[in-house]
Structures are given as structure tokens and as C-alpha cells.
């Protein structure tokens, strides 16, 4: 779709699978190809950075920017027909730099303060307890229960709703349309229709809170917009796009984090035993899941502001897009050793890039960690015999970006039935 990348190798671009089913092989291939390699992202050529040291450096390098209209020569041609156009066209703190980024980030950070997140702990625990009551009822007769739907998906939408002032009647639509933003199997037409539907719901939320403001992030953003006007804190488009970002970042990534942490602990009962014995804690399990199964495998895009000479003899030329490949970075043996692809809750190297790095580090990271820690601990305490349904193959969601499962079927009284259950469809050798 866009101009070919300048590449000194005969190495062709690795075409990333939009279904997510080739993720395991793709991750291994990206690592084997070296720190930087050409990839095809739904018809758009980009440079994938998979080496964690290099990626960490580039994420804070001022020569790499995120403002596509300013820095991507192919923006107009690509954005018109690319299924991921929303990822580069939205005007929020994730797609801007410098003063614009700082201005928008300051507005959101004023709500997501450490004190406010800590104060939410009790509400998150209460929400989790209520959801686990529903899980218990669903599995009361020994029937399989889909924890992706009833816990991993349900808790983040409750938390985001509480944070944004989202009324109950809009929650299901929000969740469905946000999932559509991450679905990379949609045609450009369906992707566009999904974006329109999502923004229709966001506009309805904003309109309702303009009339009846509350103590929530959306109301505070509306107040900043309406008090200062067109020349003030943010434009109307920035308001809508910022709400969209908070929903997308606060929902999908946390769903996948809870999903993978539970799946990994069930597939590795020896690691769960270490946590239960006090040789590791629930935070260790969450951080190891973040490293091994980054909730977002790739995040598009950043753009070179100058020619960059990178390791491996690669030159990324000005204007060429750069893809942060968090999934491969979290499994890189240069940082995590020969067992980088293994789940080890006692691993000493707990650092990872799952929440990004540098100026665009995820503001919602403390809240996502709180939700995951709370949900996973309460789940295994409530259902100590929890197990994957025997023979389960965990299928990935339809996305090259989002890293999660379509469903997570379990038995509440499985008596170890899940040990040795089938894999997640993206790799051989079982649930990772």
C-alpha cells in the first residue's frame, strides 16, 4: 500500500497474521531476524523493533514521533483505506507528541493519580466479589464457565464505567465496539463502521454528562473543554478521542492481562503452588504474565524524524513507520535468558515493556495491575480446585495487536483436570 522500506537485506517483510494464530511463530521469527526487521502490517510496511534494549531506547528517543499527519509521508493515502486508520488518525495523547502530548496527558493524569487508584481498591474488590458470585452460579452444576466473559471481560468494563461515568445501558456496546478496534480481520469498511458506532456511543456519553455531570473523568474533561473553550484545554475532537483512548487502553489490555494470568497459572500448577506456598506472590504472577504475554503484541505506529542507523546494519529513513513489538521484546533471550519463553513466577528479571516506556508510558498501568492482582487472587482463593476444561485449546482473538483468548473455559471444581490441557492455537506445546 505504501512505499517499500529501504532495506539492505534480501530479507522480505514478514507479513503479520491478522488472525493472531501465527503469533508464536512470528515472535520467534522476529527475534531470529535481529533487532529491527521489515514487516507488513495489513498492507503497510514498517520496521518492527523486537529487541528490548533497542526498543526501550527508541521509545524515549526524540527522533521517533507519533504524530502521523505531520511525520508520515504516506498518511493521507494510507489512512483512507487502512483497517487500522483509527490507530493513527485519532487525536489523543497516544498519537501526539511534545506540547500536545503533555497537555492531554496532564488532563488524564490529574484523574489517574496514585492516590485515586489506591482509593479504588475497595471498589475493585467489591466488583470482583460480585462477579465471582455470578461465576459460582454459572458453574454450580459442574458446567464449564467462560472466565474470559464472566471475569476478565466483565471487571474492566465495570472499572472503566466507574471511571468514565458510563451508564449501564451503554456498557455492552462500548465493550463490543472497543473489541472491534482491535480486530484486525475486519475489512476497511467494517472497521470504519465500527469506529463510527464507537464514537456515536462516546458522543452519547458526553452529551449525557454535559447535562448531568458527575465525579468522573469524562465530566472533568468536559468541564476543561467547556470552561476554556476552543483555545483552552482541549478541542471537542480531542475530548472524544481521549475518552476513546481511556476506554480502549483501560479495557482491552486489562481483559487480556487477567485472561493470560489465569490461563498461565492453570496451565502451570507448579507455579500456582509457588504462589500459594508464599515463595512468590500474586504480583509476581501478574508481572510475569505481562512479560511473557504482553496484552498488546504490537502497537502501531511511530515515525522516524531523521535517518536512524540502527543495529544490524539497518537504516530507518525519515518518515518510515516503526512498530513497537512488545510481544517479542518480552520473550527476548538476550534480556531474559534461554528460558525466556517459560512462565516462571520466581524470575528475578521482572522488568518488561508491556506498558510501554518513556513519555508515552501507560498512565493506566497501576489501575490495570490493581484489577489483575485483585481478580486473580480472589478467583483462586474462592475456587481452589479451579481447572481448565480438559482438552481445551485456547484460541486467540482475531488480532495481530491484541493478545488474548476468545474464551477461557474452566471447571470450578476441576480437581486438577486442567493440567496438560491443550494450547492457545498460537503456539505448539500448550498454554504458554
The pLDDT assigned to 228 comes to 56
3-state class of 335 per DSSP?
Answer: helix
Q: Which residue has the higher pLDDT, 426 or 349?
A: 349
Structural domains of the chain ordered from first start? 14-411 (1.10.630.10)
Per-residue pLDDT at 206 exceeds 70: yes
Q: What is the mean pLDDT of residues 355-380?
A: 95
pLDDT tens-place string over residues 54-64: 999 999 999 99
**Residue 315 clears pLDDT 60, i.e. is over it:** yes
Q: What is the pLDDT of residue 415?
A: 67
pLDDT surpassing 70 at residue 431: no
Residues contacting 98, CB < 8 A, separation 6+: none
Dist CA 78 CA 31 (whole Å): 28
Q: What percent of the chain has pLDDT over 90?
A: 76
pLDDT of residue 284: 98
Q: What is the pLDDT of residue 3?
A: 62
**218-253 burial: b if 16+ Cβ within 10 Å, else e:** bbbbbeebeeeeeeebbeeebbbbbbbbbbbbbbbb
Mean pLDDT of the chain: 91
Read off the pLDDT of each residue in 136-153 and give the average, rounded to a whole number. 97
pLDDT at residue 161 tops 80: yes
- Helices 365-382 and 236-267: crossing angle, nearest 10°? 30
pLDDT digits (tens, 9 = 90+) for 88-128: 988 888 888 888 888 888 888 887 888 888 999 999 999 99
What contacts 387, CB < 8 A, 6 or more positions away?
Answer: 266, 410, 411, 414, 415, 416, 417, 418, 419, 421
pLDDT at position 418 is 44
pLDDT surpassing 90 at residue 428: no
Amino acid at each position: 500500500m505504501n512505499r517499500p522500506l529501504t532495506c539492505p537485506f534480501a530479507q522480505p517483510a514478514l507479513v503479520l497474521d491478522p488472525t493472531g494464530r501465527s503469533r508464536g511463530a512470528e515472535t520467534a521469527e522476529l527475534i531470529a531476524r535481529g533487532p529491527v526487521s521489515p514487516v507488513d502490517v495489513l498492507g503497510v510496511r514498517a520496521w518492527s523493533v523486537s529487541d528490548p534494549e533497542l526498543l526501550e531506547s527508541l521509545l524515549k528517543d526524540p527522533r521517533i514521533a507519533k504524530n502521523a499527519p505531520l511525520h508520515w509521508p504516506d498518511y493521507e493515502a494510507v489512512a483512507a483505506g487502512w483497517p487500522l486508520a483509527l490507530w493513527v488518525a485519532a487525536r489523543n495523547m497516544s498519537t501526539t507528541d511534545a506540547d500536545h502530548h503533555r497537555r492531554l496527558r496532564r488532563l488524564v493524569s490529574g484523574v489517574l493519580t496514585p492516590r485515586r487508584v489506591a482509593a479504588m481498591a475497595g471498589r475493585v474488590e467489591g466488583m470482583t466479589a460480585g462477579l465471582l458470585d455470578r461465576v459460582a452460579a454459572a458453574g454450580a452444576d459442574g458446567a464449564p464457565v467462560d472466565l474470559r466473559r464472566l471475569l476478565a471481560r466483565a471487571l474492566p468494563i465495570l472499572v472503566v464505567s466507574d471511571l468514565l461515568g458510563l451508564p449501564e445501558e451503554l456498557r455492552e456496546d462500548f465493550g463490543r465496539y472497543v473489541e472491534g478496534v482491535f480486530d484486525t480481520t475486519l475489512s476497511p469498511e467494517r472497521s470504519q463502521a465500527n469506529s463510527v458506532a464507537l464514537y456515536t456511543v462516546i458522543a452519547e456519553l458526553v452529551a449525557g454528562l454535559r447535562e448531568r455531570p458527575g465525579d468522573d473523568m469524562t465530566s472533568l474533561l468536559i468541564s476543561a473543554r467547556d470552561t476554556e473553550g476552543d483555545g483552552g484545554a482541549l478541542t471537542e475532537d480531542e475530548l472524544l478521542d481521549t475518552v476513546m483512548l481511556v476506554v480502549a487502553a483501560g479495557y482491552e489490555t486489562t481483559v487480556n492481562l487477567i485472561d493470560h494470568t489465569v490461563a498461565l497459572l492453570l496451565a502451570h500448577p507448579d507455579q500456582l503452588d509457588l504462589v500459594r506456598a508464599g515463595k512468590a506472590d500474586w504480583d509476581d504472577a501478574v508481572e510475569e504474565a505481562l512479560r511473557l504475554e504482553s496484552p498488546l503484541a504490537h502497537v502501531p505506529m511511530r515515525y522516524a524524524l531523521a535517518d536512524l542507523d540502527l543495529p544490524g546494519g539497518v537504516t530507518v529513513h525519515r518518515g518510515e513507520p516503526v512498530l513497537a513489538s512488545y510481544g517479542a521484546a518480552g520473550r527476548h533471550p538476550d534480556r531474559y535468558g534461554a528460558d525466556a519463553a517459560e512462565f516462571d513466577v520466581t524470575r528475578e528479571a521482572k522488568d518488561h515493556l508491556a506498558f510501554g516506556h518513556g513519555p508515552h508510558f501507560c498512565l493506566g498501568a497501576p489501575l490495570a495491575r490493581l484489577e489483575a492482582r485483585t481478580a486473580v487472587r480472589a478467583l483462586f482463593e474462592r475456587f481452589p480446585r479451579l481447572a481448565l476444561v480438559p482438552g481445551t485449546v485456547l484460541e486467540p482473538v482475531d488480532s495481530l495487536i491484541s493478545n488474548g483468548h476468545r474464551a477461557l473455559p474452566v471447571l470450578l471444581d476441576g480437581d486438577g483436570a486442567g493440567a496438560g490441557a491443550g494450547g492457545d492455537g498460537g503456539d505448539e506445546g500448550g498454554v504458554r
